[in-house]
Amino acid sequence: MGKPTGFLEYERKNSTIIEPLDRINNFNEFHHTLPKEERLKQASRCMDCGVPFCQSGMTLGGMTSGCPLNNLIPEWNDMLYKGNLKEAYLRLIMTNNFPEFTARVCPALCEAACTLGLNNDSVSSKENALSIIESAYENGLAKATPPKNRTDKKIAIIGSGPSGLAAADQLNKRGHNITVFERSNRLGGLLMNGIPNMKLDKNIVNRKLKVMEAEGITFVTSVNVGKSKKSINTLSDYDAVILACGATKPRDINVLGREGESIYFAVDFLTDVTDKLISGNLDTKNNIIKDKNVIIIGGGDTGNDCVGTSIRLGAKSIVQLEMMPRPPEKRCGDNPWPEWPKVLKTDYGQEEAIAVWGSDPRVFNTTVKEFLRNDQSVLTGVKTVRLDSNMKPLEDSEIVLDANVVLIAAGFLGPEEYLLRTLDIKISKDDYSTNISNIYATGDMRIGQSIVVKAIDEGRKVATIVDKNLMGYTNL
């Protein structure tokens, strides 16, 4: 695959990145793709490894190793190296409905399992995929291709996040009549609301949505199915209903002082910022973060996004609390390749905080014991406590941190319950069914909080099941 000696001749070279102190002045994407000649060299590094773990999507050590979509990575790397853009694009979208999204926000499970990565720098497959899909748009290959024939089947999809959109895209290609309902006034779900613009430009999301609409998918916004009797009755008009509502019920921090102002759930905060940015109403000089001491609870991707967003909004200081211990710099003996590497990852937001303040904002093995408020109930600080290896508080380890704003990014507990309660639905964890024969569930709503690439895989799989149940067979 690629050039037989490419991995020996060329070192890995990543896309150029705008320096932290420059990029924090706006909410624009900050990666610049490599010139075409250099990109072909990077694709040539994909070696004839024999067993491409990059596309395996296996579960090893309780973690996913390789691409959950089983993307044909060696094949499209080879085609990219040889300059066969159309063939590379067709191979890429054969398994991935939205490479323009995953090539920006996926943690690159493929690269972590790359055989070359065993003793060298892995192939830059994520950036290679981005090059393929963006070149396809530039050259008119990613245009709308509506199905030539339609069935008489009508399918409703509740939720326009990555799993719902993937199911819609698959079933529409089959010729079914698809309507996607979204409770927000903007389509995209997590892609639009939960991911900051500098990580995934919303014009990229809208670009794909316009293609899908041109292919015949009907999108309906500002309809919260389950909140009204009318919306529930609407579902009876469809041959099948797919619930792709996400796992949007946030995990709270219920300690003394929780009640009161200046404590926000992370996704609500990120959604509000994105909404104002899109509307042209974002004021970086007058907002809830400007000149404030910000505490972010949660060390995952969402917590990091809060760091990057808070810096752009003018935070005075930022501390990010993480309950888990600090990961090692390199793989430990009990975490061998090709398992996902459980090592320290310093993401873009943390890099920016280091550039601004000179130190990593993260504090590990720490949780909140109390939110401190003055006599007027104004938030003034956070009392933290250190945790031992068993997640038990350590004696005499309490520290008080200044805090004017707290952002809770502690994960999610599952789907919001009103829709399931209204429809009296029980979701099966073993497959994509529910206790109602023509209603299915997929994505984070079924498997819990996860990443975009797994949500797309969920949407593709439920689409195959729905198609087979409706038609008696499936060619998806």
Whether residue 319 lies inside any domain: the answer is yes
Q: What's this model's pTM, rounded to 2 decimal places?
A: 0.96
Q: H-helix or E-strand containing 164? A: helix 162-173
pLDDT surpasses 70 at 1: no
Q: What is the mean pLDDT of the chain?
A: 95
Mean pLDDT to the nearest integer, 238-252: 95
Whether residue 144 lies inside any domain: the answer is no
Same domain for 117 and 204? no
Whether residue 85 lies inside any domain: the answer is yes
Mapping DSSP to helix (H, G, I), strand (E, B) and coil, where does residue 242 land? strand
Same domain for 104 and 196? no
pLDDT at 355: 98
Mean pLDDT to the nearest integer, 440-453: 95
pLDDT digits (tens, 9 = 90+) for 179-231: 999 999 999 999 998 899 999 999 999 999 999 999 999 999 999 988 866 67
pLDDT digits (tens, 9 = 90+) for 331-352: 999 999 999 999 999 999 999 9
Q: What is the CATH number of the domain that holds 113?
A: 1.10.1060.10
pLDDT digits (tens, 9 = 90+) for 79-88: 999 999 999 9
pLDDT digits (tens, 9 = 90+) for 24-42: 999 999 999 899 999 999 9
pLDDT at 212: 98
Same domain for 29 and 73? yes
Same domain for 27 and 120? yes
Domain final residue pick, 138, 168, 202: 138
Mean pLDDT to the nearest integer, 425-430: 90
Name the percent of the chain in helix, strand, coil, to the closest 5. Answer: 35, 15, 45
pLDDT surpasses 70 at 277: yes
Mean pLDDT to the nearest integer, 235-239: 91
pLDDT at 175: 98
pLDDT at 3: 86
Asked whether the beta carbons of 390 and 55 are under 8 A apart, the reply is no
pLDDT at 229: 65
Q: How far apart are CA 414 and CA 247, in angstroms?
A: 4
Whether residue 1 lies inside any domain: the answer is no
Same domain for 165 and 260? no
pLDDT at 282: 95
Classify burial at 466, counting beta carbons within 10 Å of its beta carbon; exposed 0-12, middle 13-18, buried 19 or more: buried
Number of domains in the chain: 3
Residues of the chain with pLDDT > 90, as a percent, come to 92
Whether residue 350 lies inside any domain: the answer is yes
Mean pLDDT to the nearest integer, 346-370: 98
pLDDT at 339: 95
> Closest by alpha carbon to 262, among 93, 380, 419?
380
Which residue type occupies 61? G
Domain final residue pick, 108, 138, 168: 138
Same domain for 208 and 324? no
Same domain for 118 and 21? yes
Whether residue 316 lies inside any domain: the answer is yes
Same domain for 278 and 332? yes
Same domain for 200 and 318? no
- Residues spanned by the domain of 308: 252-410
pLDDT digits (tens, 9 = 90+) for 42-92: 999 998 898 999 999 999 999 999 999 999 999 999 999 999 999 999 999
Same domain for 418 and 329? no
Whether residue 125 lies inside any domain: the answer is yes
Q: Where are the beta strands (DSSP E) in 119-254?
A: 154-158, 177-181, 218-220, 240-243, 249-250
Same domain for 167 and 46? no
pLDDT digits (tens, 9 = 90+) for 310-328: 999 999 999 999 999 999 9
Asked whether the beta carbons of 403 and 294 are under 8 A apart, the reply is yes
Whether residue 374 lies inside any domain: the answer is yes
Domain final residue pick, 410, 425, 443: 410
Q: How far apart are CA 297 and CA 319, in angstroms?
A: 8
Q: What is the CATH number of the domain that holds 187?
A: 3.50.50.60
pLDDT at 227: 80
Same domain for 301 and 400? yes
- DSSP-derived letter for residue 441 is E
pLDDT at 204: 98
- What separation in angstroms does the CA of 274 have from each of 105, 199, 216, 413? 16, 12, 28, 23
